[in-house]
Amino acid sequence: MNTTEPMQLRLEETVGAFVRARELFPQAGRVIVAVSGGADSMALLAFALRRAGDWGCTVEAAHVNHGLRGAAADADEAFVAAFCAEHGIPLHRHSPAAAGIPVPDHPGEDWARRLRYDWFEQLAAARGAVIATAHTRTDQAETLLLRLARGSGLRGAAGIPVKRGCFARPLLCVERADTESYCRALGVPWVQDATNDGDDYARNRVRHIAVPALETVNPAAVRALSDFCERMAALDGYFAQKADTLLLQAAAPQGWRLEPLCAADAPVRQAALLTILRRVCDPSARRLELAEKLLASGSGAVQLSPHARLRAGSGRIWLEYPADAERPAADPCMPLEPGEWALGGDFCVKIEILDAKFVPLGPDVYKKDLNSLADYAKIASSARLRTRQPGDRFAPRGRGVTKTLHRYFIEEKIPAPRRALWPLAADGSRVLWLWGAGFAEGTQPGPDTRQIIRITPIPRVEDVL
C-alpha cells in the first residue's frame, strides 16, 4: 500500500461518516464547494470530487474575490479557476466590482463575510444546491476563544453550526493540519494567504499565540474546545425549543403576557427574551439584563435600537415601533410541526408531513399545488413558522433570483398594513415558504424524496362565503 494512502483514507472515512451522520450532502443533489484556494477549501474540494458520488451528488465550486488584496486576490482567483478547468469542475465567480457593488471606504472582515454569504445564498437558491464551506475543528476552537473573550452567551458558545440553511460544514470533524496532510497525500496544490502570517488580525493572534499556549496544557485542546461547542449547540437547541413553547403560552395581541414569562425558570425565560430581542437588535448581555429588569418591574420601556423599544405595562410586554415604521407582528416562533396553526391577523395554515410515494407529482398537478410541497429533508430542523424579520430574503420558485422580502412585498403589491402579519417559514434569514407564494427555490421534491412537507393556507371565513 502507498504510504500516503492511510492519511487520505483516514480523513475520507472520518469526514464521510460525519457527512452521513449529519446528512450534510443531499442524496442525488448538487454540492457547491466554497473555494478560496487555501489548504482547507482545496481539501474539501478534493474530498467532494472523490467521494460525493457516494451520495450521487454533482460537485461545483464557487470563489469570491472581495477585491481587497489587489494582485494577490487576483492570483488566488486565477489559481482556483485553473484547478477547476483542469478537473472539469463548474466554477461560479463573484466580485463586488463585477456585480456593481460599492466597496466601503474601510471594508473589514464583517463586510467581506456579508458579501460572500449573501452571494452564496443567492447561488444556492438559483442552483438548488448545498454550499459546503471548509471550516475545520481548528476554526471552531479559534471562534470559540474569540467569542468568549468578547463576551458570549450560549448561542455564541455553540460556535460555527455544522448545518444552517443552505450551508454545510463537512470538515468540522478534522483539524487544519489534517487538511494540509490530505492535500499533500493527494498532490493537491493550495495557495497561502499572506495576511494569515501576521498578527494584525485578532484571529491570527489567537491562532499563533493563544491556541499553542493551550496546547502546552492539553495537546488535544483544539478537539476539547470543539467538543465543548457541540455540547453548547445541543443546549442552545434545547432552550430554543423551550423558549418557543413559552412564547406560545404567553402569546397576547401584539405581545406576550408577563405572568407566564415571569413564572418560567430563568434559563428558559432568558432564552425567550433573547428570541424577542433578536427580532430588532443584537441581543447583548446588557440588553438582556435590561429586558429582565423590565419584565420584573412590569412597566416602563427599554430602547433596543433607534427604531424599536421593548415596553411593559398592563400585564404584558411588547415591541414598540415609531408610528411611521413597518412593524412586524408578534413572532409566533412555531416549529414546522403537523397541525393547524392560527398565526394572528386571521391567518391560519395546515402543515402535513406525507409519504412521498402517496403524493402525486406528475404533470397533471397544478403549479400552485406543487408550490405548496417541498422535500422535507431539504427543510432545516431549525426552521420556524413566523412573521417577517429584518434581513429576510426569498427566492421564488422558477424565477432564478433572490429578493429581500421588503422588495418582494412591494413588487407583489402586498398592502403595507398586512406585511407585518404575513406568515412565512424561515431558517435564519432564508425564507423557505411564504404565504401566497409557496416554497422557495431549492426545496422541490425529487425522485429520491422520501417525505414531503405540505403547507396549505386555510382561507378566512369571509374568503369562502
Residue 63: all three cell numbers together: 470563489
What pLDDT is recorded for position 365?
42
pLDDT value at residue 372: 84
Alpha-carbon dihedral sign for residues 50, 56, 61, 62: negative
Task: Using a pLDDT cut of 70, give the percent of the chain over it.
Answer: 89
Q: How many helices (H) and strands (E) does the chain have?
A: 18, 22
Instruction: Please give the radius of gyration of the chain, using alpha carbons only, rounded to the nearest integer.
Output: 24
The confidence band for 5, taking pLDDT boundaries of 50, 70 and 90, is low
Q: What is the pLDDT of residues 193-216, one digit of tens each?
A: 777 766 767 888 999 999 999 999
Helix (H) or strand (E) holding 60: strand 58-64
CA distance 61 to 81: 9
Share of the chain above pLDDT 90, in %: 46
Residues in the chain: 465
**Mean pLDDT: which of 38-47, 235-244, 273-282 is highest?**
38-47
Q: 425, 385 in Cβ contact below 8 A?
A: yes
What is the number of other CB atoms lying within 10 angstroms of the CB of residue 316?
19
Query: Phi/psi zone of residue 315: left (φ > 0), alpha (ψ -120 to 50 degrees), beta?
Result: left
What is the third-level CATH fold of 5-229? Rossmann fold (3.40.50)
What are the sequence ranges of the domains in the chain? 5-229, 262-320, 334-464
Question: Percentages helix, strand, coil for the chain, rounded to the nearest 5?
Answer: 45, 20, 35
Q: What is the mean pLDDT of residues 385-397?
A: 85
Please check whether residue 40 is in contact with residue 179, taking contact to mean a CB–CB distance below 8 angstroms.
Answer: yes
Q: In the predicted model, what is the mean pLDDT of residues 1-24? A: 81
Q: What angle do CA 197, 199, 202 make, to 5 degrees?
A: 120
All three cell numbers of 248: 406560545
DSSP H or E segment with residue 341: strand 339-344
Q: Give 411's Cβ-side CA count (13 Å radius).
A: 10
pLDDT of residue 221: 96
pLDDT of residue 330: 43
Sign of CA dihedral 461, 252, 457, 397: positive
Q: Rounded mean pLDDT of 381-391?
A: 80
Q: Which of 181, 179, 64 is nearest to 122 (CA)?
A: 64
Is 334-464 a CATH 3.40.640.10 domain? no
Measured between alpha carbons, how far is 445 from 131 in angstroms, rounded to an integer? 19
Amino acid identity for residue 200 in this structure: D
Average model confidence (pLDDT) for the chain? 85
Q: Place 361 in a pLDDT band, splitting at 50, 70 and 90.
A: low
**What is the per-residue pLDDT for 407?**
84
Query: Quick one: which of 85, 74, 84 has its CA closest to 34?
Result: 84
Written as nine digits, the cell of 174 is 478534522
* Alpha helices by DSSP H, 128-278: 137-150, 154-157, 176-186, 202-205, 211-217, 221-250, 258-263, 266-277
Q: What pLDDT shows up at residue 69?
A: 81
Q: Is the pLDDT of residue 359 over 80?
A: no
Q: Poorest-confidence range of 167-176, 330-339, 419-428?
A: 330-339
Q: What is the reported pLDDT for 51?
A: 93
pLDDT in tens, 141-163: 999 999 999 888 888 899 999 99
Beta-strand relationship, 308-313 and 316-320: antiparallel
Return the pLDDT at 362: 53
